[in-house]
Amino acid sequence: MHGWKGRRLRLDLTNRTYEIEQLSVDYFKKWIGGRGFNSDVVYHETWQGMDPLDPDNPLCFGSGPLSGTFAPLSGRTTVSCRSPMTCSNMDTAIHGHGDTNMGGAFGPFMKYAGFDQIIVKGKADKPVWVFIDDGKISFRDASHLWGLGAKKATIKIQEELGDPDVKVSMIGPAGENLVRYACVLNNFSSSGGRTGMGCVMGSKNLKAIAVRGTKPITIARPEEFAKLAWALREKIHNSPSAIRRRAEGSMDLFDVGNAIGINAHRNVSTGFMPGIEEAYGGMQWAEKFLFRRKACWSCPVACGRYTLIKEGKYAGFSCGGPEMESLCNLGCRIDTYDIAAVNVLCGMVNDLGMDSVSAGAALSWTMEAFEKGYITEQDTGGIRLEWGDTETSMKVIDMIARRQGFGDLLAEGNIRVAEKLGIGQDIVPHCRGLEHISVDPRITMGFSLGYAMSTRGSDHLKNYSCVEFPGCAKSRSYQVEEIFGPEGAKKFWEDFPRELNELDTKPVLCAWSEKNKCVADLVSCCCQAIGSWGGAGTWQEAYYPLLVAATGIDLSPEEVFQSAERVVNIERAHWLRDGSGIQDDTHIDRYFDEGVHDGPFKGMLIDREKWAWAQQEYYKTHGWDELGFITEDKARELKIEDILPDMESGKKIIRQWLDSDKKAVTPMFVPTGLKK
């Protein structure tokens, strides 16, 4: 076995036992690694109607065949389970697939300890942490760690083991208190933020998993692998995007963000914030707050940051991060130019163990709800949140993590807050209960489809269609033929740039983009390298040769891409069996009826008829039916035909919903003509 370790570790917290499972080469060929392993387990070991906080919900940590090698940007780890955060618009008790992807170094050291994947089930009778030491497993008391933030708890574990190099994945107080959007962190501040993986970890009374390993990863063709890895490292290191990222971090996006509408402002009512470049720009931020750069495992880019506030009200504050999405959602989204305060908010959210996107969404929803008169101080226990109020925001963030007062309600996620209060559903920017990131979905159909069709709810890391922008199309012209085929590429360039604004390219672009992103998650490399901004070229050029040299497998590029398609489909099947399909593959009415408030895209909205066409064309691109269900032919093609009984069961749920009165009052758009 080369590249992979060939073993999966299963932890039973209820009985404090473990089992080591051997994995076959055929299994690796089918699922490749990381996200693939996890999505297979999460689908097949959960069931229709399962409560995500059921002890049997498998919490999976997965790494890929390049993780822990010298392959550049190979430090990613996927964490997956049935999500407590995301939900169907039919019923917030209907849940589906959840996962998150974190940097740092946990995945590589998990492999050095002997495992490609860790699966956690059960619930400990009291707080525990698990130590995996070169394949030796021990369950340890975590009572003294419970209540601590990520930084202090990590240090205590390392001190207890007498080893500062031990890698620790853990939850903060938010996970312990079952905040639905609690995250998992490693390396102090490398966060797997979305879909509430930390909530499930907390429900199991699991504070942390620490790994220490010295077992080598063997390479099938080591000399070839070394040459390929060195060449790719140099290519990425010297690429314009990497040079910019090293200097500015992911905040380099603020420099051009307003021009393409990606800086969410005032609860994503618009993607434009006047003067944002001067306040949030990457170089301006670095000059004021950068302590030093931070890189994940085997990364030649080092886009991570360590923050130190040197003067002013918050002088002396330090933290890991932030990155662009955290700054945007805890800054632009709540309408503040006080970047020092936003840094503090980002550091708080990370150490408390919360998703910065959903945390910022909770603050901005409350601010807009106050502005519109939906809520008053009577609803919030005397707290009033207004645009730009960072001081009160800090108090509310702490209340959310500890589930105190109004924070207890906000800990449920915005769609459930609005549902419980009976107001404000119209101002919750989300898909499947997961709040939007910083990009306004009205600015382009590619983003609109990407958010709505993501297998984990509104998201950019499952699908990011940047090639539709003229600047990206020119710089990434090598991808155009791969996406559209020779004839499609010829037409694309003949019509350029008009074609970028035409609808017929979007469904194909969206379906390709999500598979392209998935390949990176399978081999456990950063999707930035082959995705939106990286300098690695196509995944066939960059990571396929490394995959073959490392593992010695005989899979073709087409078979690897089909594995990515298989993973997208099995994650989709998780939702479909619970009845979440076409009615959730869309946006709230706000984005169909209300134009962008300001900036270069002022007045733009999603056209309902065009959306209905794009949605159906996207289904056809995947080989799904008109309700978005995986067909028998597609399931057999992908060798996942065991899902077919679940597809029939889920389709009955949707048909019942389409024939019910609930459809008429649901703030989601469903194309007409599909009721019968």
Average confidence (pLDDT) over 322-330: 93
DSSP track, 369-388 = HHHTTS--HHHHTS----TT
Total residues belonging to the chain:
676
pLDDT band at 478 (very low <50, low <70, confident <90, very high): low
Give the residue range(s) of CATH 3.60.9.10 domains in the chain. 7-212
Q: Over 70: is that where the pLDDT of 674 sits?
A: no
Average confidence (pLDDT) over 304-321: 96
pLDDT band at 665 (very low <50, low <70, confident <90, very high): very low
Helices (H), 63-209: 106-112, 150-161, 173-176, 197-203
pLDDT band at 565 (very low <50, low <70, confident <90, very high): very high
Say how far apart CA 241 and CA 534 lie, in whole Å: 6
Average confidence (pLDDT) over 544-568: 96
Give the residue range(s) of CATH 1.10.599.10 domains in the chain. 445-534+554-665
CA atoms within 13 A on the CB side of 660: 12
Torsion of CA 355, 561, 239, 190, to 10 degrees: 20
Say how far apart CA 450 and CA 491 lie, in whole Å: 23
Q: What confidence score (pLDDT) does residue 440 get?
A: 86
Which CATH number is associated with domain 445-534+554-665? 1.10.599.10
Question: Strand, helix or coil at 575?
Answer: helix
Mean pLDDT of the chain: 91
Q: What confidence score (pLDDT) does residue 444 get?
A: 80
pLDDT digits 0-9 by tens, 154-179 = 999 999 999 999 999 999 999 999 99
pLDDT digits 0-9 by tens, 63-116 = 999 999 999 999 999 999 999 999 998 899 999 999 999 999 999 999 999 999
Q: What confidence score (pLDDT) does residue 460 get?
A: 80
- Identify which of 333, 363, 357 has the alpha carbon closest to the alpha carbon of residue 257: 333
pLDDT band at 590 (very low <50, low <70, confident <90, very high): very high
DSSP track, 52-89 = TTSTTS-EEEE--TTTTSSSTT---EEEEEE-SS--BT
Average confidence (pLDDT) over 393-421: 97
Q: Over 50: is that where the pLDDT of 520 sits?
A: yes
Q: What confidence score (pLDDT) does residue 675 get?
A: 42
Q: Which CATH superfamily is domain 7-212 in?
A: Aldehyde ferredoxin oxidoreductase, N-terminal domain (3.60.9.10)
pLDDT digits 0-9 by tens, 206-253 = 999 999 999 999 999 999 999 999 999 999 999 888 898 899 998 888
Distances (CA, A) of 529 to 38, 178, 232, 632: 22, 34, 10, 35
| Neighbour-count burial for 543-581, b at 16+ CB within 10 Å, e otherwise | bbbbbbbbbebebebeebbbbbbbbbbbbbbbbbbbbbb
Q: What confidence score (pLDDT) does residue 491 get?
A: 74
Q: Over 60: is that where the pLDDT of 664 sits?
A: no
Fold of 259-428: 1.10.569
